[in-house]
Amino acid sequence: MSGDDWTTPGAYQVAPAVFRVPLPLPSDGLRAVNIYVIVDADRLVCIDSGWAVPDARAALDAALSSLGSSVSDIDRFLVTHAHRDHYTMAVSLRRTEGIAVSLGAGECPSLEAIADPDRGVVEDRLEALRRYGAAQLVEAVRSEMMARDHAAQSAEWAPPDDWLHEGDVELGSGRRLGVVETPGHTRGHVVFSDPANRLLFAGDHVLPTITPSIGFEPVASDNPLGDFLRSLARVRSLPDALLLPAHGPVAPSVHARIDELVDHHGRRLEQTHVALAEGATSVFEVAGRLRWTRRERRLVELDLFNQMLAISETAAHLRLLVAQERVARLLEDGTYRYRSLP
């Protein structure tokens, strides 16, 4: 299917016994998330699950019905990462159907932070905005994030039944999927490789038409972009495969898209460095000098949530430049200030 119609509801065969099922997202620019249904003997295994909202559940039920199945036939959810549009339907269906849920072990700190009433995940993100020099956005962001959290069920963030680590997962039929740890988009992101069938269930690690956000999570690593680029190199070292992404159409080559992503971030690092040379000193100021999305929008033209993502990604690029010893960072009056090193 083309990039224009990949969100159309249904169940689309992408390989023998593997179906792509796009599920709608509420008030989200991405519009839909792909989950993948593997027919495994007389049971189903799903890669990712969708967002636990009524429209997504209805779309899932309809897609499974078209395959002669229902949610009661799902044996297990293998989840690439703990973002709401990938994880929460799995937790919801576990509650009603007893379906097992598996998640990368690196997501444990973020789930623990969300579940800890004393942690103050929202306040942590607001404090990060202040340190990034975006104090003027704090109150608007507070209102938006509180509204999002109020709409969410706390049970959506329950721990999985088991934590996934690097290695193989054997399905009921004997089919094996390789678990590959790919931190970057989140610190515990994993992808699932099926080398026997030349498939990569890529989650948000490799997307065909957009670049995934980097490090926007409750407990980010010290250098999420560095993690992401190393993870891309790791997946690039595997045999090429059909790209089965969480957002966007299926693409013929994982390798080709990784090469494009590496090139994009290389150019973005240089643009970030130029913004410092032109006088920007804070994350917010640098983000304001860059262009965003394929439409080349300015930061102020983005909605509030995407401004947060843009600022977070700019911070990730600056962290990598600091790690490369190309840029210095100081904390001055509560704000991180950056300058190029000779």
Question: pLDDT for 163-199, tens place per residue?
Answer: 999 999 999 888 999 999 999 999 999 999 999 999 9
CA distances to 73, 80, 279, 318 from 91, in Å: 16, 14, 47, 35
Q: How far apart are CA 326 and CA 57, in angstroms?
A: 48
Mutual angle of helices 121-131 and 304-323, in 10-degree steps: 60
CA distance linking residue 126 with residue 142, whole number of Å: 7
Residues 21 and 49: their CA atoms lie apart, in Å, by 10
Q: What is the pLDDT at residue 172?
A: 87
Model confidence at 146, in pLDDT bands (50, 70, 90)? Answer: low
Q: Is the pTM of this model over 0.75?
A: yes
Sign of CA dihedral 82, 83, 87, 92: positive
User: By C-alpha distance, which of 30, 39, 159, 176 is closest to 87?
Assistant: 159
Angle between helices 54-66 and 84-97 (to 10 degrees): 70
Between residues 214 and 121, the one the model is more confident about = 214
Instruction: Let me know: does 228 contact 264? Beta carbons within 8 Å.
Output: no
Q: Categorize the per-residue pLDDT at 216 as very low, low, confident or very high, splitting at 50, 70 and 90.
A: confident
Looking at the predicted structure, is the pLDDT value of residue 2 above 70? no
Indicate the pairing of strand 327-332 with strand 190-194: unpaired
Question: What pLDDT is recorded for position 119?
Answer: 66
* Domain regions of the chain by residue span: 12-117+156-253
Per DSSP, what are the bridge partners of residue 190? 181
Per-residue tokens: 325: 């010893």
Looking at residue 153, what is its pLDDT?
Answer: 46
CA distance 56 to 200: 24
Q: How much is the pLDDT for 118?
A: 65
Give the residue-averaged pLDDT of 122-150.
81
Nearest to 192 by CA among 61, 69, 103, 253: 103
Extended beta strands in the chain, E state:
12-15, 18-24, 32-40, 43-47, 74-79, 100-104, 162-164, 167-170, 176-181, 190-194, 199-203, 242-245, 327-332, 335-340
Residue bearing tokens 């000098």:
289
The yes-or-no verdict on residue 152 having pLDDT over 70 is: no
Provide the 3-class DSSP secondary structure of residue 157: helix
How far is residue 110's CA from residue 163's CA, in Å, rounded to a whole number?
13
Q: Which of 301, 30, 300, 26 is nearest to 147 (CA)?
A: 26
Architecture of domain 12-117+156-253: 4-Layer Sandwich (3.60)
Cα separation values, 342 from 41, 131, 265, 276, Å: 61, 25, 22, 13
> What pLDDT sits at residue 149?
56
**pLDDT higher than 80, residue 28:** no
- Identify the three-state secondary structure at position 292: strand
Mean pLDDT in residue range 316-331: 97
pLDDT at 1: 40
The CB density around residue 72, as the number of other CB atoms within 10 Å, is 12
pLDDT (tens digit per residue) in 59-92: 999 999 999 999 999 999 999 999 999 999 999 9
Q: What percent of the chain has pLDDT over 90?
A: 81
What pLDDT is stored for residue 120 in this prediction?
67
